[in-house]
Structure 1
């Protein structure tokens, strides 16, 4: 169970450390009569919010044995191939970028996210770093064969991990504006996971575990980002502007910053 050991070693110490730091800051700020949320400008997730992604990852890990969950993988794959033997689409390769694309599109349209575009981008990049490390470790350490026998990099699903990480990121940024924005992101993520099975690239448990990795990665990014930003930037203030532009029949963004 190398993958399980990796999950415990990477995620658990960071979660405990970051959460303890948040609790200490909360206590200090309460004693001084200052809102901790206002002081940080962030509202990190609680440890309890890792229960759902933990269950999803656990489901995938259990499937690595010879049991009912693994047999369910085989049954679903057989049914999908029997009913849709020629199914093949590539849209799942692009859907994984849709939720984060929505983040920038909404900001561009004037619908402000919880954090600035710069902070939001940093949070997303940090989340993707956790996804990459975890998924790469799982694929190389476990070596599960794909349903189509293409290679032994089936577990966990990278597409599912990427899309669910982006969906949770979109949810974190816009849940105070409208929960439906987050629901839309998770709908896209679910469709991506289903398409991976229809395309015969992943087992159900691969997708479920990937979803758990993606959600946990984003929550972990939000948990440690305040401390990481303070460590890197200190009290330095960043002033920037990010505005849409259209020049020579090409649309884009113009970024100007003072560090």
Structure 2
């Protein structure tokens, strides 16, 4: 099966990444009432949150979902700038959706049919298998970082998929497979297969996983984001080549996967900082 060499390669890369795990301790210092410096070592148990499949993890899904959907109420100038970029780019692509479709139609060949057939499953089958494989490998090898990363990835993917599913149910846009007009829409919550184009679920899935891997390993291993996002871009290109989505669908799917996953990891870091500060406060005289 073509999925086996893919998962094997991903497994080798993850083993390499996790061979360079971060330190389990964090050093913090503070001045006491006499102004002398004392140094306190906070262990990983004091400063990190590592998930397992239990009640705490399941509860965090609801907490992160609420955090994600409530973010617009807390946006600042930079956030609105990012929104402007996403919407502006979507509008620009909307204007050239038909031309992009025609470009790929003119360049269909047997070679590219074969290539896109190998890449396309990263947006559905490969990504869940990869996350599941990461979890099993982490449990078997007792690698808590890998186990935790797989669960964070799964949670990000679940939350982004919930938002995507609701959006697709409301915005019933015609697929380019069936229409040449990119502005064909059906009534919200209609159930026909012809109006399921917006946004791209494949792109959302692969971008969610790519962003999670970049968040977890990108700082220590700069090559990880390059590989992960390159696969995501290639996957999105296959959806255009196969006439399954308009270019604006792919862009919005990628944006949803990226920003939702970034938000989930940001919230997790906030919770870790709160835990570390509470642990530090408990050691102060």
- TM-score normalised by the chain length of structure 1: 0.59
Deviations 1:94-123 (A, max 9, x none): 223359838839x77xxx99x723321221
- Residue 134 of structure 2: aligned partner: 104
- Cα distance in 1, alignment partners of residues 81 and 101 from structure 2: 25
SS of residue in 2 equivalent to 1:197: helix
Change (3 A) 1:216 1:35: farther
- Residue 141 of structure 1: aligned partner: 170
SS of residue in 1 equivalent to 2:173: coil
Deviations 1:47-101 (A, max 9, x none): 78967874564246x54xxxx5323111111121123277644334422335983
- Residue 131 of structure 1: aligned partner: 160
- Residue 278 of structure 2: aligned partner: none
- Residue 108 of structure 2: aligned partner: 84
Once the two structures are TM-superposed, the CA of residue 212 in structure 1 deviates from its matched residue by 0.6
**Is the contact made by 1:57 and 1:213 (CA closer than 8 Å) also made in structure 2?**
no
Is 1:41 the counterpart of 2:76? The answer is no
Aligned residue pairs total 192
Among 247, 272, 277, the alignment partner of 1:204 is 247
Change (3 A) 1:195 1:52: farther
Once the two structures are TM-superposed, the CA of residue 151 in structure 1 deviates from its matched residue by 1.6
**Is the contact made by 1:170 and 1:181 (CA closer than 8 Å) also made in structure 2?**
yes
Please give the residue correspondences for 1:102-181 in structure 2 after superposition, counting only pairs within 5 Å: 104=134, 116-149=145-178, 151-181=194-224
Change (3 A) 1:129 1:207: same
**Is the contact made by 1:174 and 1:181 (CA closer than 8 Å) also made in structure 2?**
yes
SS of residue in 1 equivalent to 2:250: helix
Is 1:193 the counterpart of 2:236? The answer is yes
Change (3 A) 1:93 1:194: closer
- Cα distance in 2, alignment partners of residues 41 and 169 from structure 1: 17
Once the two structures are TM-superposed, the CA of residue 37 in structure 1 deviates from its matched residue by 11
- TM-score normalised by the chain length of structure 2: 0.54
- Cα distance in 2, alignment partners of residues 197 and 212 from structure 1: 16
The RMSD of aligned alpha carbons is 4.3
**Is the contact made by 1:54 and 1:216 (CA closer than 8 Å) also made in structure 2?**
no
Change (3 A) 1:222 1:35: farther
SS of residue in 2 equivalent to 1:116: helix
Change (3 A) 1:83 1:226: closer
Deviations 1:151-205 (A, max 9, x none): 2111111111111111111111111332111110000000000011001101111
Change (3 A) 1:31 1:183: farther
- Residue 71 of structure 1: aligned partner: 95
**Is the contact made by 1:162 and 1:214 (CA closer than 8 Å) also made in structure 2?**
yes
**Is the contact made by 1:161 and 1:211 (CA closer than 8 Å) also made in structure 2?**
yes
Q: Which 5+ residue runs of structure 1 have no aligned equivalent? A: 1-28, 230-259
Change (3 A) 1:177 1:152: same
